[in-house]
Chains A and B, each alone.
Chain A
Amino acid sequence: MTQPVLSVRDLRVEFVTRRGILKAIDGISFDIGKGEVLGVVGESGAGKSVTGSAVIGLIDPPGRIAGGEILLSGMRIDNLPPEEMRRVRGKRIGMIFQDPLTSLNPLYRVSEQLVETIRTHTNLSASAARKRAIDLLAEVGIPAPERRIDSYPHEFSGGMRQRVVIALALCAEPELIIADEPTTALDVSVQAQIIALLKKLGREHGTAIMLVTHDMGVIAETADRVAVMYAGRIAEIGPVRDVVQNPLHPYAKGLMGAIPSLESDTDRLVQIPGSMPRLSAIPPGCPFNPRCPYVFDRCRVERPEPIQHSEHRVACHLYDQSSVRSEAVA
């Protein structure tokens, strides 16, 4: 098997507060291959954004990486000195955030920002860099790029701004793009365009994409594989079609049933009782056990480790061979 672009091994992230240590990420592992889109989905507090920040080395104190490894094409990046990490971040990992305005400097023209980024990472001349910038804007679907390139960020609409950010992330031809809720701030019609664009880029450039979002629909449309996170752990990870249509973990099942459908009529939505635990009060054993309809004694004491089950990996005692209950659900 070829080497994955991103490989996360048993990652732990902690936040030190005066009330004790909060485990935001508690031992997660996953890989993203070349040209693959991994969707990371979960509700607020699941730790999906922290995972993204950890990969790009942007965990601010009081947070810290407490264990595990992050490998970018085989090179360990979680313990790099900040200066080197900054270079890796610009050159080899691109970033797209929810609010495009946080990635763009309002005081500079788009052309200046793009050309500067391109020239930092390549040895193109100024005019060649400008030409490349125009090509990039055309590629992300900005009409009349040779005219629009000299506009300021505020002169673009929300959707167009997000396209500019994507162009900016592509400047250095990174191996990996981290997209954190890239479509959440956009309207449905614009969201569809951005999703299509992300898919196309992954396919054409062979860029690995980690797509962090709370929107299952966006994942279903875009991702190849999906990781469902809950309380800082991966509950289930597998090919997107399998996970969406045949989820194994009770939390994933609940999550899929909770989404109202456009296709069919349902009288009541499946609802998971309760809410995501606060980081300061994660239950022992399986963190989902107080909300789980299939809970049994073992769930309350023993933490489930990820188990390979057909093409998924699922962290649930129900699927453990030694557990008697597995027949009942599967």
Chain B
Amino acid sequence: MADAIQAAPAPQTQPTTWAGRFFDSDVWASFKRSKLTMAAAFLTLLFVAAAVLAGVVTPQDPFDPAQLELMNSRLPPIWSAEGQMPFLLGTDEQGRDILSAIFYGLRISLAVGILGVAFSATLGITLGLVAGYVGGTVDAVIMRIADVQLTFPAILIALLVDGVVKSVLGGQLDEVTTLSVLVFSIGLSFWVQYARTVRGSVMVEKNKDYIAAARLIGLPAPVIMVRHVLPNVLGPVLVIATINLALAIITEATLSFLGTGMPETMPSIGTLIRIGNNYLFSGEWWIVAFPGIALALLVLAINLLGDWLRDALNPKLR
């Protein structure tokens, strides 16, 4: 037989496992180079660990009335003269440990943030994928809705949804419903960015020949979209999702601060800041300061991660 069809040499071994590939990649190398990014990642992990392990590591469950003692109310942080163990960051007027409240509050803040981002990303990716792949009228309708959507600030949408749900379900909502309303409002406010980004990438990818090859073997459009197009447009989505996580957490905190967010019975960081705000002028600064610092650090760390990810995934900046 002719020499074009001959046995090829066995390929060199390269890392084939998922983890092996990751630690060999440029993204990992750029992560190791940036001290700031590593610090941000460490801080984020710390916050996530605090939220997950809140029930295990905190000295009390701040929302179990049986564990609260009025004796311990309004204690300042441990380093001032009146400070007491185990209340490292002091207590509020009901004797709640601030540190424990922050840990539990992180849980709610992160949950709302992550669920909100997941919801908006799912909505945005789906609409962007369909708009970009199908094109024509479908594309025009979806993108015009997106344009209109952008003219409303996120807070306004959230207040609107909150108001509508309250008037439909009547007066006070239970915690789970409130959380769902928050996730829904945040999702509705942030989907446009995903949709636009994904649509743009899809318009580029769908003209590439690997899509033509998939069409040639008669695969239906939804299968091509999910199997071929979707995995190739997720890179930028990851960056937006990270930065939006910080935004979602802030939005949730703002809503809770304004009183339309999480109730005091299941407070997020934002709720804690609102409660603490009432005591600021009576001198109990720690009730508002520590949740505020926690929120600021969390958002900063996530934003730094997002910035790094954007640069690391952008081949032009490398």
What A residues does B3 contact at CB under 8 A?
271
Give the residues in chain B near A268, CB-CB below 8 Å.
Answer: 2
A199–B27 CA distance with the chains assembled, in angstroms:
48
- Tell yes or no: A147 within 8 A of B by CB: no
A211 to B4, CA, bound (A): 33
In this complex, the interface size class of chain B, counting residues with CB under 8 Å from chain A, is under 10
Report Cα–Cα, A271/B4, bound state, in Å: 9
Q: Of all chain B residues, which has the CB nearest A19?
A: B29
For A18, what are the chain B residues with a Cβ–Cβ distance below 8 Å? 29
Q: List which A1-27 residues lie within 8 A (CB) of chain B.
A: 18
Q: B29 to chain A: which residues have CB within 8 Å?
A: 18
A-B interface contact total, Cβ < 8 Å: 4
Q: Which of A245-300 contact B (CB under 8 A)?
A: 268, 271
| CA gap between A84 and B29 in the complex, in Å | 37
Chain B residue with minimal CB distance to A271?
A: B4
| Whole-angstrom CA separation of A269 from B3 in the bound complex | 11
B22 to chain A, nearest CB (A): 16
Residues of A within 8 A of B2 (CB): 268
- Of chain A, the residue at the smallest CB distance from B29 is A18
- A271, B2: Cα distance in complex, Å: 12
Rounded to whole angstroms, the CA-CA distance of A268 and B4 in the bound complex is: 10
Residues of B within 8 A of A271 (CB): 3-4
B258-274 interface code vs A (CB 8 A; 1 in, 0 out): 00000000000000000
Q: Which residue of B lies closest to A269 (CB)?
A: B4
Report the minimal beta-carbon distance from B29 to chain A, rounded to whole angstroms.
6
> How far apart are the CA atoms of A18 and B27 in the complex, in Å?
12
Interface flags, B10-50, vs A, CB<8A=1, else 0: 00000000000000000001000000000000000000000
How far is B6's CA from A222's CA once the two chains are assembled, in angstroms?
Answer: 38
A18 to B3, CA, bound (A): 39
Nearest chain-A residue to B32 (Cβ)? A18
Q: How far does the Cβ of B39 sit from chain A's closest Cβ, in whole Å?
A: 21
Tell me the minimal C-beta distance from B9 to chain A in angstroms.
9
A275 to chain B, nearest CB (A): 12
How far is it, in angstroms, between the C-alpha of A18 and the C-alpha of B33 when the chains are bound? 10
Q: How far is the CB of A12 from chain B (nearest CB, A)?
A: 24
A18 to B29, CA, bound (A): 8
Closest residue of chain B to A273, judged by CB? B3
CB distance from B13 to the nearest CB of A (A): 14
The smallest beta-carbon distance between A283 and chain B, in angstroms, is: 13
CA distance A215 to B162 in the complex (A): 67
A18–B4 CA distance with the chains assembled, in angstroms: 37
Report the nearest B residue to A268, measured CB to CB: B2
| A268 to B3 alpha-carbon distance, docked (Å) | 10
In angstroms, Cα B315 to Cα A96, docked, is 26
Give the docked Cα–Cα distance between A34 and B3 (Å).
46
Residues 179-205 of A, flagged 1 when their CB comes within 8 A of B and 0 if not, give 000000000000000000000000000
For the complex, give the distance between the alpha carbons of A271 and B29 in Å: 39
How many Å lie between the Cα of A216 and that of B3 in the bound state? 25
Closest beta carbon of chain A to B168's beta carbon, Å = 56
In the bound assembly, the distance between CA atoms of A268 and B1 in angstroms comes to 13
Q: Which residues of A contact B4 (CB under 8 A)?
A: 271
**How far is it, in angstroms, between the C-alpha of A18 and the C-alpha of B30 when the chains are bound?**
10
Nearest CB of chain B from residue A257's CB, rounded to whole Å? 14
* Smallest beta-carbon distance A270→chain B, Å: 11
> Nearest Cβ in chain B — how far from A272, in angstroms?
11
Give the distance in Å from the alpha carbon of A18 to the alpha carbon of B2 in the complex: 42
Alpha-carbon separation in the docked complex, A248 to B2 (Å): 26
Bound Cα distance A150, B32 (Å)? 53
Give the contacts of A146-203 with B (CB-CB under 8 A): none
Instruction: State the Cβ distance, A11 to closest chain B Cβ, in Å.
Output: 26
CB proximity of A260 to chain B, nearest CB, Å: 15
List residues 260-301 of chain B with CB under 8 A from any CB of chain A: none
A309 to B103, CA, bound (A): 80
Shortest beta-carbon distance from A296 to chain B in Å = 20
In the assembled complex, the CB of B316 is this many whole angstroms from the nearest CB of chain A, namely: 13
Q: Which residues in chain A, 54-74, are within 8 Å of chain B measured between CB atoms?
A: none
User: Whole-angstrom distance from the CB of B21 to the nearest CB of chain A?
Assistant: 15
Q: Tell me the complex Cα distance, A88–B11, Å.
A: 48
> In the docked arrangement, what's the CA distance between A18 and B26, Å?
9
Q: How far is the CB of A258 from the nearest CB of chain B, in Å?
A: 13
Expressed in whole angstroms, the Cα–Cα distance for A37 and B94 within the complex equals 89
Q: How far, in whole Å, are A10 and B59 apart by their CA atoms in the complex?
A: 72
CA distance A213 to B193 in the complex (A): 44
Considering only CB atoms, which chain A residue lies closest to B4 in the complex?
A271
Interface hits, B46-97 → A, CB 8 Å:
none
Complex Cα spacing A31 to B303, Å: 55
Q: How far is the CA of A271 from the CA of B3 in the complex (A)?
A: 9
Q: Chain B's nearest CB lies how many Å from the CB of A18?
A: 6
Min distance, Cβ A328 to any Cβ of chain B, angstroms: 21
Q: Which chain A residues in 71-89 approach chain B with CB under 8 Å?
A: none
CB distance from B7 to the nearest CB of A (A): 12
**When chains A and B are docked, how far (Å) is the Cα of A268 from the Cα of B2?**
10
CA distance A189 to B76 in the complex (A): 86
Residue of B nearest to A274 (CB): B9
CB-CB nearest in chain A for B26: A18
Expressed in whole angstroms, the Cα–Cα distance for A38 and B2 within the complex equals 38
Top 4 A-B residue pairs of the complex, sorted by shortest distance between their CB atoms: A18-B29, A271-B4, A268-B2, A271-B3
Binding site for B on A (CB under 8 A): 18, 268, 271
4 A-B residue pairs with CB within 8 Å: A18-B29, A268-B2, A271-B3, A271-B4
